[in-house]
Amino acid sequence: MTPSNPNHFSLLIQVPLRRWLLAAALVTAIGITAAILAAPHSLAHPAAFSRPLEPVILSGEEIASLDGVPASEISAFAYAASGWQQIPMQVDEVNASGAYTLENGLLDANDEIVFMAMDLGGQAPPTEWISDSASLAHPRLEIRVTDPLSPTAQGWVYLYRSTTIPAVTTDYVSWNAAGSRLEAVAYAAGFDPATTVGLASLELNGSSVDVLDRSKIRVNATCYFFSIPLSTTTITEENLAAIADFTPDVDGPVRVGGGSLTSSLWAYAAMFQTSLSVDTGAFTPPPPCTSIHINWLRVSNDWLDPALSGMSPALYFDAQTAAGVSINGSPDSVPATPANAWAQVSGSRGSLVQLTTLALGGGTVSNYYKDDQTPDAADTGDQRSYGDAGFRVDNPTGLVDIAAATFILPPGQPNLGAAYQPYAVNPLQAAVTVQNYAPRYWLFLPLARR
């Protein structure tokens, strides 16, 4: 039998995670985001570097020479033939339990320094130093960033310590608390925490036009009184709205988000990235249930009618659908198995490539796809499906580990998912070299006239 009030079962998802991380990570699992289509700086990334949309993340342990230094005294610069350019960089503090938080403002081994690959510059000669006299008293750190998929692709960033360098004013992404919105250079992602636990809107490239119906979540579970099944119900993103808290732990110029070193969610200017670990055995059963069995769960991303939102013509691709299918509200045949490691949507307002990795203690993963404009009274949102795509897990048990990253590319891109998929398991690499100031010396030799 099915209870008349599914909210009774919303306690199912009250796992031991911070509410911001849980609510937002469910969204991230389907890769809802948008990002910058062109670097906002005049300094372009090195021409040979083909992964400019990704962040470069250094732990405090990797830059041990800055241990104990106030974060406010650390600045990042890129070098080019035209000279130095300060770039956005942030220091995110991590406490002893691994959570992102505000501590004492001093860099330590488990903190992180983050900047964007699109801001990489060239290699500076040892004698080339920024024009800040206070920085001369301290070593600088040369950060060489390489792409393991293309060993010849490399770029550099330099970290300086100084009390006289002003903070950079560029802000790639920020949190608008009043509007419950993530706002970046080329997108705005809106939330409606009173109504739904997922994304409620998505605007691309300053258009102020919403292209997203919403994030959709389904959790089908059975309540047991010992070995006796009492009821089965399906919870939606609307039933979960009460636990949604999208206020991020960190709001810096490079990324917004938080969580912990093991389960985190980050929004960047050009990508959205998450890592999440959920223990399905940690769900709290509501009385009179003594245990709960999750029969299946589904997370997906449903678009608005592309003909009305300006995304048309829109195509959906995945590893089993190389030729793509039109997102137009007419049913298509998209294989449910094998599970996809990537999926892509290409439309007139942008193209999204999402990389997803799932690891389960137990259960079966399949692909979910529905493109059908026929109204469904049992559905949420606009009660129609336009390229509604994501994944489904049947009978999940133990730990469910999710890692996802979504990239936004220019409109109308062809199938690029296979090219991007290796990025998920081959992150950018960074090597650190400590350099001391080496001033130029000029030697003047006397000339004898004959």
Range of the domain at 73: 55-169
Considering its fold, how many domains does the chain have in total? 2
Is the pLDDT confidence value at 132 over 50? Answer: yes
Q: Do 121 and 155 fall into the same domain?
A: yes
**Inter-residue contact 369 to 389 (CB < 8 Å):** yes
Q: Would you say residue 355 lies in a domain?
A: yes
- Give me the pLDDT at residue 313, please: 97
- Is residue 332 domain-resident? yes
> Residue 149: pLDDT band by 50, 70, 90 thresholds?
very high
| Same domain? 360 vs 409 | yes
**Mean pLDDT within 328-350:** 96
Same domain, 131 and 219: no
Residue of higher predicted confidence among 26 and 296 = 296
Q: Report the C-alpha gap between 396 and 25 in whole angstroms.
A: 17
123 lies in the same domain as 83: yes
Whether 186 is in a domain gets the answer: no
b/e sequence 286-297, b meaning 16+ C-beta within 10 Å: eeebeebbbebb
Average pLDDT of every residue of the chain: 87
- Contact residues for 221 (Cβ-Cβ < 8 A; gap 6+): 9, 12, 232, 233, 235, 292, 293, 294, 295
**Residue 198 forms part of a structural domain:** no
Instruction: Establish if 178 belongs to a structural domain.
Output: no
Whether residues 20 and 90 share a domain: the answer is no
Q: Are strands 429-435 and 140-147 parallel, antiparallel or unpaired?
A: antiparallel
Q: How far, CA to CA in Å, does 372 sit from each of 42, 220, 302, 315, 346?
A: 44, 22, 11, 14, 18
Q: Specify if 408 maps to a domain.
A: yes
The torsion of the CA quartet 179, 277, 296, 34, rounded to 10 degrees, works out to: 40
Determine the residue type at 415. Answer: N
Listed range (57-71, 230-244, 354-368) with the worst mean pLDDT: 230-244
Residue 243 and residue 94 in one domain: no
Same domain, 298 and 266: yes
- Asked whether residue 24 is assigned to any structural domain, the reply reads yes
- pLDDT value of residue 450: 55
Percentage of the chain surpassing pLDDT 70? Answer: 87
CA gap 68, 112 in Å, rounded: 13
Distance of alpha carbon 30 from alpha carbon 340, whole angstroms: 12
Q: What is the pLDDT of residue 10?
A: 42
E strand or H helix that includes residue 115: strand 112-116
Q: Is residue 341 domain-shared with residue 408, that is, in the same domain?
A: yes
Tokens of 151: 């060993």
